[in-house]
Amino acid sequence: MDVQSLLEGVGPWALVVIAVFVFIESGLLFPFLPGDSLLVTAGLVHQSLGLSVPVIALVAFVAAVAGDQVGYLLGDRFGSRLFKDDARILKTSRLRETEAFFEQYGGRALVLGRFVPVVRTTVPLAAGSARYPYCRFLPWNLLGAFLWAVGVTVVGSLLGGVPFIADNIDVLLTVIVLVSVLPVITGQVRKRILARRATPDPG
């Protein structure tokens, strides 16, 4: 998708497009919208759009918070019904593991998940499905939305003129987050290995 042409083509509706895209990608299980690229590009071409960076960042922040709220509510209301004991993928045991994960890493997962495409869409749903307490979900949701929406927009306005950054923003953000969550992934793998070793061999 040519994000710059899209934003410049819609003229005064650019803010609406930004809000709708960010909202849908954040909470309506449609993870293939260019959220990062959209915000970087909006920050980069804000003058030609007749918009200020603070206004773009504020609209994106509100849309991101609202999208995650919807995702959490969908997970809280319908998520657990999708899990069955005999299911191939959505097993009840997986839901229990998700609950334990959010109990230990909930806040970190909500914040860092914002910066990874696809994960950004599924994390709030998983939090709701796992019954992660809303009183804990809300502040982390606000923090993650602020760091992502405001941070990526500002990065676009400051560094978006550098071709390499503008063309590879999704990859760069994903790499940064993967490095950040590497200790979490390592801990989970270690826990699984130790659990398998502790399980008696039926033979």
Residue with the two structure tokens 């930004």: 18
Which pLDDT band holds residue 111 (cuts at 50, 70, 90)? confident
pLDDT for residue 119 is more than 80: no
pLDDT score at 92: 66
Rounded to 10 degrees, the C-alpha dihedral 15/21/26/27 comes to 110
pLDDT for residue 64 is more than 90: yes
- Cβ-contact 166, 44 below 8 angstroms: yes
pLDDT score at 200: 60
Mean pLDDT computed over 117-135: 80
- What is the pLDDT of the chain when averaged over all its residues? 77
148 against 195, higher pLDDT: 148
pLDDT for residue 69 is more than 80: yes
Q: Locate 83 and state its tokens.
A: 């899990």
Q: Which long-range contacts (CB under 8 A, 24 or more apart) does 176-184 make?
A: 176/115, 177/112, 177/115, 177/116, 178/116, 180/112, 181/108, 181/112, 184/105, 184/108, 184/109
pLDDT score at 59: 94
pLDDT for residue 201 is more than 60: no
pLDDT score at 82: 63
Which pLDDT band holds residue 156 (cuts at 50, 70, 90)? confident
pLDDT score at 182: 62
Mean pLDDT computed over 51-72: 92
Q: What pLDDT digit, counting tens, does each position of 46-57 carry?
A: 888 888 899 999
**pTM of the entire structure?**
0.72
Mean pLDDT computed over 31-37: 69
